[in-house]
Amino acid sequence: MIGFYRPDGMIVEVALRLLYFVFVRLVSWLVLLGRSSAA
């Protein structure tokens, strides 16, 4: 835990990673949904 003494930075990093993960999952899900509905 390198950023343990910097809780704010760690929280921001974790939040950004979670947002990125959710965004990628949503985009991939929408693309799959669009392909399935188009076909």
- pLDDT value at position 4? 57
From the DSSP assignment, how many helices (H) and strands (E) are in the chain?
A: 1, 0
For residue 16, what pLDDT is reported?
A: 93
Write down the pLDDT at residue 39.
Answer: 64
Q: Report the C-alpha gap between 39 and 32 in whole angstroms.
A: 11
pLDDT attached to residue 3: 52
Question: How far apart, in whole angstroms, are the C-alpha atoms of residue 19 and residue 37?
Answer: 27
Write down the domain spans for the chain.
1-38
State how far the Cα of 1 lies from the Cα of 37, in Å rounded to an integer: 45
- Note the pLDDT tens digit of each residue in 1-39: 555 566 667 888 899 999 999 999 999 999 999 998 876
Structure tokens at 36: 């399935």
* pLDDT at residue number 12: 86
